[in-house]
A and B are shown apart, each in its own frame.
Chain A
């Protein structure tokens, strides 16, 4: 009897120790309509984008990146930014940040009704120059202007740092460099900084190392991870981030958005697959997985392509579907 009691106690303590390792709640930042569609080959009609965002608004997601106010000369897929922002049905429980690379974009965004914006830095000099035609320092000066103005107008700003785990041009990036850029964005006034594994080369090893450096400069509560699944490492990397106290994860419905640096390779991690993992671990998200799968289904049909989400693929064809509810509670 005593052995049984001790066994159960051990089990309980072990479980407690494990549950304390993970956040109770994880916020999902849905980037499909912007980061996803921006990187799809097909140009998506405005009506389809609006419907996608409206469907996502019904899933329980609290943040949906709606569009980008980058010049349509550079990103033609987002040329309809004003129309999209003005036409979506804005749920009271959802925020709809938009990308604003500079003052011009910021002003357009605000004029179109944006109530939250995002700025994009990089931890790699070469990537910064190739992507936005200026050095990291110059880009931060630009963002400073945006953040300052946004502050005055009480518009929250989210920061992104790309190439946090590797650069397509420079290769590995020093974690201290990542930390430096993150710190600068945070100190300028970004309420949250999302760390992007832009080409998906990261592994739990490099993720842990990078987060270790970044957490020295910025509190975990102000950090998010934006993992690409190009090398299949995204969920393992996200798991590592959760174990290190991160509780905000970016993802894209149906895994929209390929990797622009490797033809045919995958890019963004699928929201469905992330949710499946989190829910399976008992972590709350507030999101209804089935509704996200429906939204994913819708956009894939509109794009005439297969989903990148393994959960959606499996659920779609599963012959003993009813058992899944029992297994994954």
Chain B
């Protein structure tokens, strides 16, 4: 019994090569495959939640400033692709992140599909209040596992940043707004180099204790490998339950999917990714950044893991935004299936 991918190709490649005949097995077969340990005898989650960060983390790191209508249309297309979490925008001051200056317009302009959550970044109380005012129903806060990175990125120490966030999580709790926490530099820092897994665990624990329902562990510069990922997750999962953890892997060194696979094998079932692999690595010119959602979904479906995502619709969204940005997709799945 095989779990294979339904691959509806929009180009002559698929029709010529017969890949359309590949189809996704029914859920029963899928579950059995997962139970059989499809991946090298390891148990994998039956379902993985994808957190789509393209509209925020992706576009924030693109050189071209994208018109609000394009952002709104992208988010709407992603909503139709079956994603359940789409990070919509960021309430960081436009002085620092001009690409997200239209945050209110975007929040108010998107069509909010029932069952889909649209978290927004809120670095402090001011951002939080502005977000709630604009209709945000979920927010996210960003810590770092590296002191130097924290100072360079948000101009304060890790401790100071956590104090700021505590103010936000308190207010969010009172307002009944869930908060997601991010920890960056979990597998390496562009300034400090190696980052101790225990430090990552400490920061993750603090964010979790102050009320974040989920902590996303970010390999900010993509230097991690399965070895480092294993060690780090082992340390963090001692402090935070595994079902409250997510991985946010960058593909700067091509390691993202391998790292994600390891995370799945260790019980993680939430993965952040960016449509078309939007968002380069700000620390290495021309290098890639976020892992492409299409490539992640392809792997997950190939493993018989359910995501709820419609891959062809996702690729349509990727094609749309790449066209608008006048750039090539960073997704290999999209490149392979689109001969443009």
Which A residues lie at the B interface, using CB under 8 A? 7, 11, 14-15, 18, 166-172, 199-206, 208-209, 229-233, 235-236, 238-240, 243-244, 259, 261-266, 270, 273, 276-277, 279-282, 309-311, 313-314, 317-320, 323-324, 326-328
Contact = CB atoms under 8 A, between A and B. Distances in A.
Contacts of A310: 251-254, 287-288
Nearest to A230: B336
A235 B257 contact: yes
Contacts of B258: 235-236, 238-239, 277
A208 B40 contact: yes
Interface in B194-250: 194, 222-228, 230-231, 234, 238
Contacts of B339: 262-264
Interface stretch (B65-73, B84-92, B116-124, B297-305): B297-305
Contacts of A231: 295, 298, 332-333, 336
Interface stretch (B15-23, B55-63, B135-143): B15-23
B281 interface: yes
Contact of B225 (A167, A172, A240, A280): A280
A281 B303 contact: no
23 contacts: A168-B19, A169-B18, A199-B17, A203-B5, A204-B261, A204-B303, A231-B336, A232-B333, A233-B299, A236-B257, A236-B260, A236-B261, A239-B262, A240-B261, A259-B336, A262-B336, A264-B339, A277-B255, A310-B251, A317-B286, A320-B190, A320-B191, A327-B194
Nearest to B222: A314
A319 B333 contact: no
Contact of A266 (B41, B190, B335): B335
Given A240-B39, A317-B284, A328-B223, A273 B303 contact: no
B93 to A, nearest CB: 25
A314 B252 contact: yes
B3 interface: yes
Interface in B275-333: 281, 283-288, 292, 295, 298-299, 301-304, 331-333
A167 B255 CA distance: 26
B8 interface: no
B48 interface: no
A280 B18 contact: no
B193 A276 contact: no
A261 B257 CA distance: 23
A262 to B, nearest CB: 5
A105 B17 CA distance: 30
A314 B287 contact: yes
Contacts of A263: 339
B170 interface: no
B193 A327 contact: yes
Given A261-B17, A273-B253, 10 more contacts: A203-B299, A204-B39, A204-B261, A206-B4, A238-B258, A282-B227, A319-B284, A320-B191, A323-B190, A324-B223
Contacts of B13: 261-262
A277 B333 CA distance: 21
A323 B191 contact: yes
Contacts of B301: 203
A143 to B, nearest CB: 26
Nearest to A269: B254
Given A262-B339, A318-B283, A324-B223, A232 B331 contact: yes
A230 B17 CA distance: 14
A235 B238 CA distance: 28
A91 B301 CA distance: 45
Contact of A327 (B39, B188, B251): B188
Contacts of A273: 253-255
A203 B302 contact: yes
B135 to A, nearest CB: 36
B47 interface: no
Nearest to A243: B40
A173 to B, nearest CB: 10
B284 to A, nearest CB: 5
A78 to B, nearest CB: 25
B313 to A, nearest CB: 18
A32 B25 CA distance: 37
B154 interface: no
A149 to B, nearest CB: 36
B42 interface: yes
Interface string B167-193: 000000000000000000001111111
B286 A328 contact: no
A323 B223 CA distance: 10
A128 to B, nearest CB: 16
B253 A311 contact: yes
B299 A171 contact: no
Contacts of B262: 239
Nearest to B305: A205
B191 to A, nearest CB: 7
- Point out which of B41, B193, B230, B254 has the most chain A C-beta atoms below 10 A from its C-beta: B254
B39 A280 contact: no
Interface in B12-37: 13, 16-19, 21-22, 33, 37
Contacts of B333: 231-232
A236 B302 CA distance: 12
Contacts of A326: 193-194
Contact of B299 (A14, A236, A259, A328): A236
B153 to A, nearest CB: 14
B22 A318 contact: no
Contacts of A244: 40-41
A5 to B, nearest CB: 15
